[in-house]
Structure 1
Amino acid sequence: MARVVKVFRTLRNHWKKSTFAVCVLSYGGYWLYGKHCDNVLRREACLVAREFGRQQIAPQERLRKATVILNPAACSGKANNLFEKNAAPILHLAGVEVTVVKTDYEGQAKKLMELMEQTDMLIVAGGDGTLQEVITGLLRRPDHDKFSNTPIGFIPLGSHNSLSPSLHLLSDNKVKDITSATLSILKGETVPLDVLQIKSEKEQPVFALMGLRWGAFRDVSSTISKYWYLGPLKTNAAHWFRTLRVRLYFLRHCRVCSTNTECTRGNTHNSCLYSTTLEASACQLELPEASGTFYNIDNEEYEAMPVEVRLLPRKLRFFISAERREQLLSQTQ
């Protein structure tokens, strides 16, 4: 009993050190628990993948081939480690013949797609930038009609993964998102997605899945990371500072307009009466050149210039999780 009293007396007399030790131990315990949960998720995913690998195939059949375009620089250089720990073991256990091609610099994925041979499935391991480069390089090929039938899997390894919510049920755990996306590739369910072709007079066309953003909100979102030191207030701070130097945005008369609007050449239209969206399969955006403004194509920044945007319906097929497909079907009913 005296020893217990002595311990409590020591803790009380050195309360600052005791408080610091409790904080360190609590954080360490939380970190270890998180690592344990991640290992459990990996183990469960590997057990599911092993069942795919145990399936028998006929002697004349061959293993499924998968070409992986991996961007090691994604997620601040952590993408390669994330792929090797969370995705690669699942693909190998499932009996997939995997060919991993790593990019060394920005824009290389476009060139790699020009040289890619036919494969059973194409897997993009990276973020929005990697995915946009891959589909742009794929659809620039002369034989893109043949390669458009190749199903594409997206493993979210980047800082921005805008397509993931359309394909998988997201969580607050990076490991779970990666393993779930990899398992959905093995299960083989696909969904056709529309693609935007964005073409200027001077450059080759760029292809996008999520869209083109231009204007004040795009400019604000590009500056949020500069206020990282403000923590949860960084978004509010970016909007507030932007209002101090707001600039005027407008679009000129475009070639293709909705039948619900009346456009006059030379006039500007900042609102559309009785409409929140303009439905069109193609439109011409006459963005002013050399004005110092930019627009985003799938979260990748481009200098603003006049472009023609055309919708390519159901152009590519992507792997989708069964849970997400059921959710989409229930929303349409």
Structure 2
Amino acid sequence: MKAACEEALKYGDALIPIDKNPTLVTVILNPVANKRKAKKEYTKYCEPLLHLAGLQVDVVQTAWEGHAKEITESLKGTQAIIVAGGDGTLSESVTGLLRRTDNANQFPIGILPLGEKNTFGNILFPGGKTVDKVKQLIEASMAIIKGNTVWKDVVKIEPLTKDNETPGRPIYALSSIHWGAFRDTLAKKDKYWYFGPWREYATFIFNGYKSSLKWQCKGTIKYTPPCSGCQNCIEHRPEPRNWKWIFLTSNVKSHENNDVSKIENQLCGTTQELCFMTSKLLIKTPNVCKDQVEIPGLNIVLGQNKYTYAQFVKEGWKRLTGEIDSDNPIRARTVELIPEDISDGDIIEIDSEDYDVKPFRIELLHNFIKFFVTSSV
């Protein structure tokens, strides 16, 4: 922390014109994240660095579920948004931001991974516990101070409605969509707190035989193949621009602005249909896929129709250790998920947030939003 404070102070002392106000950043802090540890860790490890760097920091604490959406949807006057929390706070913040109609995805977003689940944050800033966790928070804070940004993919999720129904508002996700027995099992892990660091493993042992899990996810998937951009799927993004801090100009990486309106791809609009019955349906974004491919796409993973108790526990444990799914994924740009035989209480998880299972249209928006990162990303 001493070394990081000295480095941050160099930015605060350098090149801030006397006739200009400091850069204003808004921190959306979830004070109850990670069992109410988030606020303490933010105050101890992140806030001092931001102030020493000369940033004008406005902290807004979330007070209820969905509050982060409301904050970012109506936020004005800031030059950057910093999300201090976990997956849920980040997903809400991105959803509120992209629901706006004023090209709000030009706002760069900083992530301070202070939640219990930090799927996307841990990819941008690998970390662990104790000292490694402190290093992770320092790295994330310094990335904001240095101002280096990169464009990342977002998934747009819209409820499918009938002709006479009012369409629902979209949800935006960065990591994954999960439905089935494996998701239901992990949702119960807090009941086994007395196993300490082994509680997730214990959850699979004690729930692998229970009928209350969603063992049969049934429905239809309609999907189109991945496409790097063509006449059919042209995406209307705002023009990319360098985000200029008061004391430096950041580098904006990985945002291509090629003219795709003249490119023809006859396969882009083709739709394939698949009926499924499985115990696990997982859709992952390119942000969290270890195997990067030339044309980005969603990875749809369908598990087995049936699992024995031993198979279920074994695969659950493999997932906890971060092993890549052995199933060959289906790759897609857009997906229509049409579930069947839905029961009351059926839950689908979108970036660690729970939603009622219903028909959804899912679309990958490639390189659509900016995040602060270290220069090595």
Judge same fold: TM > 0.5, yes or no: yes
Q: Which letter does structure 2 place at the counterpart of 1:109? A: A
Cα deviation, 1:79-111, whole Å, max 9, x if unaligned, reads: 222211111111111001111111111111111
Give 1:28's aligned residue.
Answer: none
Q: Residues 126-145 of structure 1: matches in 2 within 5 Å?
A: 126-143=85-102, 145=103
Q: Is 1:307 equivalent to 2:266 in the alignment?
A: no
> 5+ residue gaps in structure 1?
1-41, 326-333
Distance in 1 between residues matched to 2:217 and 2:61, nearest whole Å: 41
What's 2:127 paired with? 170
C-alpha distance in 1 between matches for 2:217 and 2:71: 38
Amino acid at match of 1:155: L
Partner of residue 97, structure 1: 56
Code of the residue aligned with 1:283 in structure 2: it is: V
Instruction: Tell me how far 1:229 sits from its aligned partner.
Output: 1.4
Secondary structure at the counterpart of residue 159 of structure 1:
coil
Partner SS, residue 46 of structure 1: helix
> Does the 8 A contact of 1:251 with 1:285 survive in 2?
no
Given candidates 215, 236, 244, the residue that maps to 1:248 is 215
Q: CA deviation at 1:240?
A: 2.5
Q: Secondary structure at the match of 1:308?
A: strand
Number of residue pairs aligned between Structure 1 and Structure 2: 278
* Cα distance, 1:257–1:314 mapped onto 2, change above 3 Å: closer
Residue type at the aligned position of 2:113: P
Greater Rg, structure 1 or structure 2? 1
TM-score by length of 1: 0.76
Question: CA shift at 1:197, angstroms?
Answer: 0.9
How many angstroms apart in 2 are the aligned matches of 1:96 and 1:133? 24
Greater percentage in strand: 2
- Return the alpha-carbon distance in structure 1 between the equivalents of residues 88 and 176 of structure 2: 13
What amino acid is the match of 1:321? Answer: T
Within a 5 Å distance, the mapping from 1:183-332 to structure 2 comes to 183-200=142-159, 201=161, 203-246=168-211, 247-256=214-223, 267-268=275-276, 276-288=328-340, 289-323=342-376, 325=377
Select between 312-321 and 243-252 the one with higher mean Cα deviation: 243-252
Number of the residue aligned with 1:23: none
Is the CA contact (8 Å cut-off) linking 2:80 and 2:108 kept in structure 1? yes
Unaligned runs of at least 5 residues, structure 2: 162-166, 226-266, 279-301, 304-325
SS at match of 1:119: coil
Identical-residue share of aligned pairs (%): 35
Instruction: Give the Cα–Cα distance (whole angstroms) in 1 for the partners of residues 327 and 201 of structure 2.
Output: 29
Larger relative contact order (CA 8 Å, sep ≥ 6): 2
Contact 2:105/2:369 (8 A) holds in 1: yes
Q: Report the CA distance between 1:60 and its aligned residue.
A: 4.9
Whether the 8 Å CA contact 1:70–1:100 is kept in 2: the answer is: yes
Describe the SS at the equivalent of 2:187: helix
- Give the superposition deviation at 1:291: 4.3
CA displacement at 1:134 relative to structure 2: 0.6
CA separation in 2, counterparts of 1:240 and 1:269? 24
Question: Per-residue CA shift, 1:89-147, capped at 9, x if unaligned?
Answer: 1111100111111111111111112221142211111111111111111111122x2x1
* Native 8 Å contact 1:287 1:304 kept in 2: yes
> Which protein is richer in helix relative to its size?
1
- Residue of structure 2 equivalent to 1:159: 116
Instruction: Tell me the TM-score normalized by structure 2.
Output: 0.68
1:288-328 Cα offsets, whole Å, 9 max, x none, are 433432111111111211111111111110011234x1xxx
Letter in 2 for 1:148: N
